[in-house]
Homo-oligomer: A and B are copies of this chain.
Amino acid sequence: MKDKGIGIVETKYFTFAEPGQELVLASGQRLGPITLAYETYGRLNKKKDNAILILHALSGDAHAAGFNQGDKKPGWWDNMIGPGRAFNTDKYFIVCSNVLGGCKGSTGPSSINPKTDKPYGLDFPIITISDMVNAQKKLMDYLGIKKLLSVTGGSMGGMQTLQWFKSYPWFLSSAIPIATALKHSPQQIAFDEVGRQAIMADPDWQKGDYYNKVKPERGLAVARMMGHITYMSDVSMEKKFSRRMKNKNYSYTFKTDFEVEGYLQYKGDSFVKRFDPNSYLYITKAMDYFDLSGKKLVAGADGNETRFMVIGFKSDWLYPLYQSREIVNQLKYRRVGVTYCEIPSTYGHDAFLLEVDEQTHLIKHFLSSVYRNEKDGK
């Protein structure tokens, strides 16, 4: 039978933290009510032991796989999720949740502040990766999941994966952090900060109070263009663009001469149509604050039986391999079971979205082994 993917899917919404039951954030502030957008693929079995939580990166959303009604493009990790795929929906129940602070159906700075009946803007509290995870835990409880077979994600999705282990170490049978880090280096913070400054420098930003007015599109586009450079590698850019030109000769103007310029402008322009500039600020800040370095990840993990598979990519210079190795070293330090896979990709950081075959091979076998192990243990 041909691999047909999972077809039409629908985004669902879960609301909690109603008045009086607000979520207490890392900052000490309280936030509620909170809605999380999420999607599920496959079926939760009777034992409820086949659930896998998939977590997205900076600009991702709950729509990881299949097609939303009317869409021409599938979800962001569709090539990894479906019948027979790495995350096999014939076997597993997959949940993907949009992050708190986002702009894709979950509560974030563009949501209505119940206290003012206007969008939060900068009145939205600063959120952290642990806040995101705490919100996801509420969703897991709501779905009746007592333990996750696995948690996984690339980039910021990997940070959430690590945070899940830190916050709820007994809730996971396994974890697959991909192309991620225990903390942002100053270089990673710096790229985030330049993106934020580009947005905040846009006069349309208006200290975050631009809803129902003009969106700071130019600032967000610049932030995204820069981001795109960091997601690719020198080699992958050379392969994709080299110095190919739009026209035969130099224009001797500031119009687009090189294909790579046009590509970045297109990526910047299309991003502003689908993303909220304030969410970009909040989510990058959450990433910069994230820090499970040193022994923080594994403190209290003695005797924990969660099994890890850490995946990194050779050409990823935004989240270099040494950061993956630091995760592995910390896990080994407390004898948490860990397999480490370096994939010799040339795609740079984007590899977690593009290296389908290698990741499928690794993840499929890892999950089978964890699943078999869990069943045998019961």
On A, residues with C-beta under 8 Å from B are 27, 29, 122, 125-126, 183-187, 189-191, 193-194, 196-198, 200-203, 218-219, 221-222, 225-226, 228-229, 232, 234, 237-238, 240-243, 250, 252-254, 257-258, 260-261, 264-265, 268, 281, 285, 288-289, 291, 317, 320
CB A280 to nearest CB in B, in angstroms, measures 11
A125 to B252, CA, bound (A): 8
User: A186-B241, A186-B242 in contact; A261/B201 too (CB < 8 A)?
Assistant: no
Q: Summarize A's interface: helix, strand, loop or mixed.
A: helix
Residues of B within 8 A of A234 (CB): 185, 187, 317, 320
What is the CA–CA distance of A122 and B126 in the complex, to the nearest angstrom? 42
Whether A237 pairs with B187 at a CB distance below 8 angstroms is yes
- Among B186, B261, B285, the residue within 8 A (CB) of A237 is B186
Give the complex CA separation of A330 and B252 in angstroms: 28
Nearest B residue to A122, CB-CB:
B254
B contact residues around A285 at 8 Å (CB)? 254
With A200-B254, A201-B202, A222-B222 as contacts: A229 and B191 at CB distance below 8 Å: yes
CA distance A19 to B29 in the complex (A): 69
How many copies of this chain does the complex contain?
A: 2
| Known pairs A254-B281, A257-B288, A285-B254; A268 contacts B197 (CB<8 A) | yes
List B contacts of A197 (CB < 8 A).
221-222, 225, 264-265, 268
The residue among A29, A187, A196 with the most chain B CB atoms within 10 A of its own CB is: A187
**Minimum CB–CB distance for A293 against chain B, Å:** 8
- Closest chain B residue, CB of each to CB of A254: B281
A237 cross-chain contacts in B, Cβ below 8 A: 185-187, 190
The interface residues of chain B lying within 8 Å CB-to-CB of A222 are 194, 197-198, 201, 222
A203 and B203 form a contact (CB under 8 A): yes
- What's the least CB distance linking A259 to chain B, in Å? 8
B291 touches A243 (CB 8 A): yes
Bound CA–CA A202/B204 (angstroms): 10
Most chain B CB atoms below 10 A, which of A194, A225, A260: A194
CB distance from A235 to the nearest CB of B (A): 9
Question: Given A185-B238, A234-B187, is A126 in contact with B27 using a C-beta cutoff of 8 Å?
Answer: no
Interface centre among A126, A186, A219, A253 (most CB of B within 10 A): A186
Distance in Å: Cβ of A346 to nearest Cβ of chain B = 13
- Known A252-B125, A254-B281, A261-B193; judge A201-B221 contact (CB<8 A): yes
Bound CA span A281–B261, Å = 14
Which 3 A-B residue pairings sit nearest by Cβ, starting from the closest? A201-B218, A27-B252, A186-B241
